[in-house]
Amino acid sequence: MMDTKVIDVALGKKSADMVILNGNLINVHTREVYQSDVSIVDGKIAGVGKLPEGVIGPDTQIIDAAGKYLSPGFIDAHIHFESSMLTFTEFSNTVIKRGTTAVASDIMEITIVAGLEGLKEILSEAGSLPVSLYYPVPSFMGDESEFQTTGSVLSASMIEQLLPLDEAVGLAEVLVPPILAKSPESEKVIALADKLKKTAEGHAPATFGKELNAYVSTGIRSDHESTTKEEALEKVRNGLRVLMREGSASTDLKDCLRIITEDNIDPRHLAMISDDVDALHLVSLGHMDHKIRMAVKEGVDPVAAIQMATLNPAESLKIDDLHGSISPGKMANIVLLSSIEECAVKDVVAKGSLVVKDGSLIEKSVPPTYANVLRNTVSFFREIKSSDLLIKAQDGAEEAVVHVIGASPVSLLTDSLEASLPVKDKYVACDVSQDILHIACVERYGKNGNIGKSFIKGFSLKEGALATSVGHDHHNITVVGTNEEDMLVAVNRIKELDGALVVVRDGKVVGEIPLSIAGLLSLESAEDVAKEQEHLLTELKEMGCTMASPFMSLSFITLIFIPDFAITDVGLMDVKQFKIIDPVISWR
């Protein structure tokens, strides 16, 4: 785009809004670091290098970057900001301090709960914030209503409405099964993305060999589901941009980085992403800065690590015309670091304005007043009794052989386990000694009163229950517990709060994070949410829980696309068979 003011400032014919002098430029085009000045006007970079006479006028803001490094603003190419439990405004307040200036977030969770109207509220909120929000459009707006109940049914025609939007970078999360099944709907939406020259982002957990070949053949551009070095290597070799994930519950980055540190492959098609991170992770560890530090610690060249958080994600998303490097014409998103290796963010210029100084926000952005569509989103079809959360036994049965969801502390993948459980008082009991706990998923839109029930291993609770109104991709209320009374207390408390994370012990709520916006987002600050998260973790630990991110993990045990097992309000989902199955295998 030709901007005549930018040309004039580049040529020194007009003065800049801002100049950054004496910094050490991290050039991600060439993988070099050298001294360079930068001029900025109209939110864009005009000059880089030795600036001409005339660029500094009486109103030009001068930033002395002597001794500092200038990095392009960091980009998270795949995140669901809703997982932070923060409003987009507070998310922006939080990550901008860490140097993030652009994210691609598909906002599907809000849309599932509150429809297009809810989505548009968020896009409008984001427009004025320092962090640029790009919006990949959910690709699988198929009718999944036989497997789960949602607030809003996403329809295929929405894709045709949404994909042409400027913020819409492409299709999000194109799944493997419909591709392998040659679904005409998938064919249609991929063709539309192609026509618009937008990306089709992938979602291909544990996909290898011929299935990976078939999947990639459709032009899918990226994937963020690699959990091992081997998977990442095979995917990048196939031509996928591999987005290496470091989220709260999915910590795949360290293993994936071995394709650089051990196999020495060209890192141009690698980027680092979050997928899902909670407020505690963002506040205590950081965002892209944390991933850069991890990469450097694992032995990646520091400038290559910066590339994996700037140019590489920008090219993957096809937004490198505006993002990903400090060069003329790009958006003026510049992070001043006191050290590259430590990725120590001092100051941040976003959209041409200094927004972070010495690690602190100059001005904290304030969330808007949210429309009704995003509030009061939790209601029950009928009152729930504690026994509704249990599996009723067959008449005369003394024991049940059941499927058990095997949750992992480090991965979103679940194992398909089995267990024998006793029948007590006409219901299948859990077995705390074996860590086989109750899990239930309660329909929360007031539509049908569904409650899906099964068992889960991995949380190691010895008492009490935890429950959440966050559960991909339907956001019904999921509860895990050692007994149905505590579970019911937790579920009812979530209803009272219009959404929440809740921990219950001995019939009492001992910790909670209200999520009154769509049952997904808190109106509190990141620090407060993080603090309460820590409190919940402490309580859960005392109750025996061994999961690193129990709520984040729980919110994905509901996702019908991650093998082996998931739970929804309809029941236990066998992902590989792609159908709801009876949680009980046999009665004895």
Q: Which residues pair with 350 in a beta bridge?
A: 353
Query: Taking the complex as a whole, how short is the minimal distance between the CB of residue 116 and a copy of itself, in angstroms?
Result: 25
* Residue 103 zone, left/alpha/beta (φ > 0; ψ -120 to 50; rest): beta
**DSSP states of 490-549:** HHHHHHHTTSEEEEEETTEEEEEEE-TBTTTBBSS-HHHHHHHHHHHHHHHHHTT---SS
Cβ closest to a copy of itself, residue 165 vs residue 196: 196
- Residues in the interface with a copy of itself (CB under 8 A) total 64
Stretch that binds a copy of itself, among 175-183, 286-294, 344-352, 523-531 (CB under 8 A): 175-183
Query: Taking the complex as a whole, how short is the minimal distance between the CB of residue 233 and a copy of itself, in angstroms?
Result: 8
Locate 250 and state its tokens: 């999915």
Does the footprint of a copy of itself cover residue 438 (CB under 8 A)? no
Give the sign of the dihedral formed by CA 503, CA 491, CA 387, CA 557: negative
d(CA 558, CA 570): 11
Which residue of 330, 403, 457, 474 would you call a contact of a copy of itself, by CB under 8 A?
330
Query: Taking the complex as a whole, how short is the minimal distance between the CB of residue 6 and a copy of itself, in angstroms?
Result: 5
Does the footprint of a copy of itself cover residue 56 (CB under 8 A)? no
Residue 247 one-letter amino acid: G
Does the footprint of a copy of itself cover residue 214 (CB under 8 A)? yes
Report yes or no: 354 and 362 within 8 Å, Cβ to Cβ.
Answer: yes
Stretch that binds a copy of itself, among 258-266, 425-433, 488-496, 546-554 (CB under 8 A): 258-266
Stretch that binds a copy of itself, among 115-123, 212-220, 523-531, 561-569 (CB under 8 A): 212-220
Does the footprint of a copy of itself cover residue 46 (CB under 8 A)? yes
Residue 581 one-letter amino acid: I
* Residue 23 zone, left/alpha/beta (φ > 0; ψ -120 to 50; rest): beta
Query: Taking the complex as a whole, how short is the minimal distance between the CB of residue 7 and a copy of itself, in angstroms?
Result: 5
d(CA 317, CA 36): 27
Residues 251, 255, 257, 259, Cα dihedral to 10°: -150
Query: Taking the complex as a whole, how short is the minimal distance between the CB of residue 216 and a copy of itself, in angstroms?
Result: 4
For residue 354, the SS3 value is strand
Stretch that binds a copy of itself, among 321-329, 414-422, 547-555, 568-576 (CB under 8 A): 321-329
Does the footprint of a copy of itself cover residue 314 (CB under 8 A)? no
Cβ closest to a copy of itself, residue 259 vs residue 562: 259
Does the footprint of a copy of itself cover residue 331 (CB under 8 A)? no
Query: Taking the complex as a whole, how short is the minimal distance between the CB of residue 3 and a copy of itself, in angstroms?
Result: 7
Cβ closest to a copy of itself, residue 117 vs residue 185: 185
For residue 146, the SS3 value is coil
For residue 24, the SS3 value is strand
Locate 430 and state its tokens: 């859990």
Whether residue 415 is preceded by a cis peptide bond, meaning omega within 30 degrees of 0, is no
Give the DSSP H/E element, type plus range, for residue 135: strand 132-138
Q: Angle at CA 471, nearest 5°, toward 465 and 472?
A: 155
Does the footprint of a copy of itself cover residue 318 (CB under 8 A)? yes
Does the footprint of a copy of itself cover residue 207 (CB under 8 A)? no
Does the footprint of a copy of itself cover residue 321 (CB under 8 A)? yes
For residue 38, the SS3 value is strand
Stretch that binds a copy of itself, among 244-252, 327-335, 458-466, 521-529 (CB under 8 A): 327-335
At residue 141, φ and ψ (nearest 5 deg) are: -80, 45
Does the footprint of a copy of itself cover residue 382 (CB under 8 A)? no
Q: How do 565-567 and 168-175 pair as beta strands?
A: unpaired
Site string for a copy of itself, 178-197 (x = CB under 8 A): -xx-x---xx--xx--x-xx
Which residue of 10, 104, 384, 559 would you call a contact of a copy of itself, by CB under 8 A?
10
Which residue of 268, 375, 392, 531 would you call a contact of a copy of itself, by CB under 8 A?
268
Site string for a copy of itself, 19-38 (x = CB under 8 A): --------x-xxxx------
Other residues' Cβ atoms within 10 Å of the Cβ of residue 51: 21
Point out which residues bind a copy of itself (CB under 8 A).
Answer: 1-4, 6-8, 10-12, 27, 29-32, 44-52, 179-180, 182, 186-187, 190-191, 194, 196-197, 209-211, 213-214, 216-219, 233-234, 236-239, 259, 263, 265-266, 268-269, 307, 315, 318, 321, 325, 327-330
